[in-house]
Structure 1
Amino acid sequence: MITIQNLNFNYNKARPLFKNMNMQLTQGHIYGLLGKNGAGKSTLLKNIAGLVYPSAGSLQVLGHNPTKREPSLLQQISFIPEEFHLPSVKSSTYVKVNAPFYPNFDHVYLNRLLSEFDIPIQQKLSEMSYGQKKKYIIAFGLATNAKLIIMDEPTNGLDIPSKAQFRKIMASAMTEDRCIIISTHQVRDLDNLIDAVILLDEQKVALNASIDEITAAFTFKKVKELDNTVLYAEEALGGYQVIAANSNQEDSKLDMELLFNAVLAQKSNITSILNTVHHE
């Protein structure tokens, strides 16, 4: 689906944002894209969508070079940015103008999503609340039936019930021939939704692994006292939340926030264990 080889990108020549980045993403997955502020999450998404161009390296999306901006590729990409503008028109006009670009656009599906999100479709889009606007562009993006769905901070501006709706809708939107990438700094919003994690750090991909691979390599648990099996720990009420090597093949639930902090604190240690398990 997406192949990135030796990608270099910079806004400022003195400080490259990506340096020889490599990554492979396949269809049939919902990827969570994580990283500190300034790590380049939004920029990576824009490179994939062909909105900005790398200074060196190669990027292939669905067999195309996104920098060429070919309609046959763009019709299969739905990019939902963090910052957006909706015109002063009703939904019906917006759909009439924009939907024809996407050959597989599903009008029935859009109406179902708008109803589930409780969007006031008789109201002009520009007059909706920020949360309603956000839900509208998510609904429209999914209704395109594009093979690649890219979302940059989609849960920003959503209240707690809307976030629950979002997770439910995204889970049902996943198909075997589709790839979904969701960038967020609110890692808890991706709980029980994604099945793979990408973590950017220091100009490169620090981690790219499935949830199954991560929980096979590590166990996430709460303990009262630390021992020598613990790889990373954070103080918690009544003890510690820890990551330990999963030598006994225990079942545990991924704690993404803990993993995120662990990789940033002990990248080489965490990734070497993960790579060992991956190649066994």
Structure 2
Amino acid sequence: MIEIDNLSFAYKRSKPAVIQNFSLNLERGKVYGLLGKNGVGKSTLLYLMTGLLTPRSGRVLFEETDVRKRLPVTMQDIFLVPEEFELPPVSLVSFIELNSPFYPKFSKEDMMRYLHYFEMDMDLNLKTLSMGQKKKVFMSFALASNTSVLLMDEPTNGLDIPGKSQFRKFIASEMSEDKIIIISTHQVRDVDRILDHVLIMDNSRVLLNESTVNIQKCLLFKETDDASLLANAIYSLPSVQGHSLMLRNLKDEESDINLELLFNATLSQPKLLIELFLKNDK
């Protein structure tokens, strides 16, 4: 559904490329977690996927159409929630009246439902809202637009604890087989239970591109003070219980994915992780 083909981009001609010869395919029906260190190009990649930036070379295709052309057929079906944004000093009703026509599948009923769960209503003036409230309103509008592609950059930043909980429920309940959702974040604990697929990038490379099902089949995550397990760990971090461990899943045990552990392990031992998943696929 989305094909990123040999993409390169730099903000200035004299500067090194932020993204260089980057390729990736994204499929319908998945919630992707896009992880990486600061400065590796995650936000830039999202902007390139909407056609808001022009690549130095390569292209992004959405349903075989180059997104840089910014054609209505693609723009009406892609929505980006950036990390930072401004809303105009108007009423929410006016904002919806002005912007919803650009999205043919926008549902006012859905908008009201999302706002309700965020404990907000339609009778709002956007000028008076806090940043967290603005994020809830904009997130509600994004979800109510019902686009096939939803791109979100640090969506939980600025949300309170109930807001983060509602966000997870929205993503889990509204996902369908015809949608792609990509969440770029450093707040891994806010999204670890809702992802179908994990992408870890570094220096224009995709270090990890695996479904959560494959990750759980291949790897086991434990909190323990067992010294014998620690000795066999692929990667470990100190924790309240002793250590957080990432081990080979040799007995088909079930465990929740520790994204922080997986991310650090992938950056420190990318070749080992690649080999583990290749062996698991055979």
Structure 1 residue 238 displacement after superposition? 4.3
Shifted more, 269-278 versus 105-114: the winner is: 269-278
Contact kept? 2:3, 2:25, Cα under 8 Å: yes
Structure 1 residue 120 displacement after superposition? 4.3
Counting matched residue pairs gives: 279
AA aligned to 2:275 is S
Shifted more, 7-16 versus 67-76: the winner is: 7-16
Shifted more, 19-28 versus 112-121: the winner is: 112-121
Distance in 1 between the 2:117 and 2:252 partners? 40
Q: CA deviation digits over 1:34-53, x for unaligned, max 9?
A: 11111111001001111112
Distance in 2 between the 1:227 and 1:152 partners? 35
Contact kept? 1:31, 1:181, Cα under 8 Å: yes
Secondary structure of the structure 2 residue equivalent to 1:242: strand
1:55 and 2:53 matched:
no
The residue number in structure 2 matching 1:11 is 11
Structure 1 residue 228 displacement after superposition? 5.2
Distance in 2 between the 1:222 and 1:85 partners? 42
The residue number in structure 2 matching 1:243 is 246
Structure 1 residue 11 displacement after superposition? 1.9
TM-score (norm 1): 0.95
TM-score (norm 2): 0.95
The residue number in structure 1 matching 2:146 is 145
What's the % identity of the aligned pairs? 42
Gaps spanning 5+ residues in structure 2: where? none
Secondary structure of the structure 1 residue equivalent to 2:65: coil
Shifted more, 72-81 versus 247-256: the winner is: 247-256
Contact kept? 2:31, 2:182, Cα under 8 Å: yes
AA aligned to 1:240 is H
AA aligned to 1:206 is L
Contact kept? 2:22, 2:204, Cα under 8 Å: yes
Distance in 2 between the 1:135 and 1:56 partners? 36
Structure 1 residue 149 displacement after superposition? 0.5
CA RMSD of aligned residues (A): 1.4
Distance in 2 between the 1:86 and 1:235 partners? 42
Distance in 1 between the 2:205 and 2:107 partners? 37
Gaps spanning 5+ residues in structure 1: where? none
Contact kept? 1:221, 1:243, Cα under 8 Å: yes
Distance in 1 between the 2:250 and 2:22 partners? 31
Q: CA deviation digits over 1:49-95, x for unaligned, max 9?
A: 11112111232112210111111100000111111111111111111
Secondary structure of the structure 2 residue equivalent to 1:85: coil
Structure 1 residue 227 displacement after superposition? 5.3
Contact kept? 2:34, 2:185, Cα under 8 Å: yes
The residue number in structure 2 matching 1:107 is 108
Secondary structure of the structure 2 residue equivalent to 1:230: coil
The residue number in structure 2 matching 1:261 is 264
Q: CA deviation digits over 1:89-108, x for unaligned, max 9?
A: 11111111110111111111
Distance in 2 between the 1:81 and 1:62 partners? 23
Q: CA deviation digits over 1:221-279, x for unaligned, max 9?
A: 1232145532111122343211111122221110001001101111111122113323x
The residue number in structure 1 matching 2:236 is 233
The residue number in structure 1 matching 2:132 is 131
Secondary structure of the structure 1 residue equivalent to 2:104: coil
Contact kept? 2:126, 2:134, Cα under 8 Å: yes
Distance in 2 between the 1:122 and 1:234 partners? 47
AA aligned to 1:263 is T
Distance in 1 between the 2:167 and 2:241 partners? 33
